[in-house]
């Protein structure tokens, strides 16, 4: 256990902010060296703007198990000085410790266990991507292409609190920018000659929020707005950033059509909508259920603990592979809580347990 915690501390201290390429690349190089030591063939796929992506292949044969881990975190460089890695009362704290440096740690120690045990016949492909927290724009083609050649996908995102549940269903995510154009005029001298883009945007915001249906799990949120130039000028332009969350592809298609075809309320204004579905929903398919039940049986019969499933409102790279029809099991990483917050932590006692589960999945799928 000391070796695991020491490795976890090391990669937490390798800060890897999504938007700071040099930091992500340092961690990428470190992980590449570790994968080579574990007998992998590695390929570093370089990017110009964002962190490099690492693909590591272990074993020979077709239809590998694909393992997804992301290196980047939401924390800027320097955060480790404010919140250094610490262990207290059986929990580890630090920036990115839950999302998802512990998942990376478990993946590599499971591979080490597989090597030592010598009974795994499955080839395994690992993807360590550098841009998951900002949409996986450079890594998505890599992940999708590799998943099409794989028998299943295991995602080392954190388990779902509070019970450390595996994620068999995730909401899809859409992001949009709504741009409004009106006509400027002097708010005092010629108010009747202007058409306020801000007023039109206000109508659109109300309409967008009315699309939320908590019963079906569909949510639409206008999270950022801006517009106008001065208080004494009728605003000629305004815009809003919109977040969409949905459980099913059918609902995604319905909401996508509505949002992309917004109609002006005020005569003389125009609306332009940009964006779309960034991550399709991860629906609970028969293949995902079979994969979960296999993992659940391993836990009950061999590992001595109960494994539960849950659904999550956030998305991951598992959404991409599940949408292609590849059986995908998500949430196999850290058991903890507080992801993306200063209170982020992992429960250390669960790391050997979840590493053992991953090892047996490698050996039995």
pLDDT digits (tens, 9 = 90+) for 59-89: 999 999 999 999 999 999 999 999 999 999 9
Same domain, residue pair 212 and 315? no
Assign residue 166 the CATH number of its domain: 3.40.630.10
The structure tokens 């019963």 sit at: 215
- Encode pLDDT of 265-281 as tens digits: 999 999 999 999 999 99
Three-state SS for 279?
A: strand
Domain boundary pick from 279, 302, 336 = 279
Handedness of CA 195, 198, 204, 206 (dihedral sign): negative
Same domain, residue pair 151 and 267? no
CA dihedral of 287, 288, 289, 290, whole degrees rounded to 10: 50
Non-local (6+) Cβ contacts of 190 within 8 A are none
CA 339 from chain centre, in angstroms, equals 11
Same domain, residue pair 191 and 65? no
- Encode pLDDT of 352-361 as tens digits: 999 999 999 9
* Domain of residue 254, residue span: 172-279
- Encode pLDDT of 307-347 as tens digits: 999 999 999 999 999 999 999 999 999 999 999 999 999 99
Same domain, residue pair 354 and 296? yes
Same domain, residue pair 156 and 31? yes
Same domain, residue pair 97 and 213? no
Same domain, residue pair 32 and 141? yes
Same domain, residue pair 165 and 120? yes
- Encode pLDDT of 185-213 as tens digits: 999 999 999 999 999 999 999 999 999 99
Same domain, residue pair 45 and 84? yes
Domain boundary pick from 279, 303, 318 = 279
Same domain, residue pair 157 and 82? yes
Assign residue 269 the CATH number of its domain: 3.30.70.360
- Encode pLDDT of 108-167 as tens digits: 999 999 999 999 999 999 999 999 999 999 999 999 999 999 999 999 999 999 999 999
Domain boundary pick from 217, 244, 279 = 279
Task: Give how many domains the chain has, as a whole number.
Answer: 2
pTM for the complete prediction? Answer: 0.92
Predicted pLDDT at 76: 96
Same domain, residue pair 100 and 249? no
CA angle 93, 96, 99 (to 5 degrees): 110
Same domain, residue pair 252 and 126? no
């Amino acid at each position: 256990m000391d070796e695991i915690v020491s490795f976890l501390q090391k990669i937490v201290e390798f800060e890897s902010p999504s938007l700071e390429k040099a930091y992500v690349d340092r961690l990428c190089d470190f992980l590449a060296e570790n994968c080579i030591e574990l007998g992998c063939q590695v390929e570093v796929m370089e990017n110009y703007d964002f962190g490099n992506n690492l693909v590591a292949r272990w074993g020979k044969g077709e239809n590998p198990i694909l393992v997804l881990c992301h290196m980047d975190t939401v924390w800027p460089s320097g955060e480790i000085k404010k919140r250094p890695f610490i262990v207290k009362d059986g929990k580890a704290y630090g920036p990115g410790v839950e999302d998802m440096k512990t998942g990376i740690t478990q993946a590599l120690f499971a591979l080490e266990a597989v090597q030592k045990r010598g009974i795994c016949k499955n080839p395994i492909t690992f993807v360590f991507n550098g841009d998951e927290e900002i949409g996986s724009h450079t890594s998505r083609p890599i992940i999708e292409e590799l998943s099409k050649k794989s028998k299943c996908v295991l995602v080392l995102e954190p388990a779902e609190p509070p019970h450390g549940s595996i994620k068999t269903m995730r909401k899809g995510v859409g992001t949009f920018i709504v741009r409004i154009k009106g006509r400027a005029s002097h708010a005092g001298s010629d108010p009747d000659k202007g058409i306020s883009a801000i007023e039109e945007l206000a109508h659109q915001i109300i309409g967008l929020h009315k699309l939320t249906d908590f019963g079906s799990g569909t949510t639409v949120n206008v999270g950022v707005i801006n517009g106008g130039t001065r208080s004494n000028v009728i605003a000629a332009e305004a815009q809003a950033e919109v977040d969409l969350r949905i459980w099913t592809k059918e609902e995604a298609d319905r909401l996508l059509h509505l949002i992309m075809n917004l109609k002006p309320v005020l005569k003389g204004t125009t609306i332009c909508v940009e964006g779309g579905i960034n991550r399709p929903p991860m629906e609970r398919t028969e293949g995902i259920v079979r994969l979960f039940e296999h993992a659940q049986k391993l836990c009950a019969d061999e590992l001595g603990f109960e494994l539960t499933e849950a659904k999550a409102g956030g998305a991951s790279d598992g959404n991409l592979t599940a949408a292609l029809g590849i059986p995908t099991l998500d949430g196999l990483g850290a058991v903890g809580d507080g992801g993306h917050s200063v209170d982020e932590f992992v429960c250390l006692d669960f790391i050997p347990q979840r590493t053992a589960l991953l090892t047996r999945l490698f050996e039995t799928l």
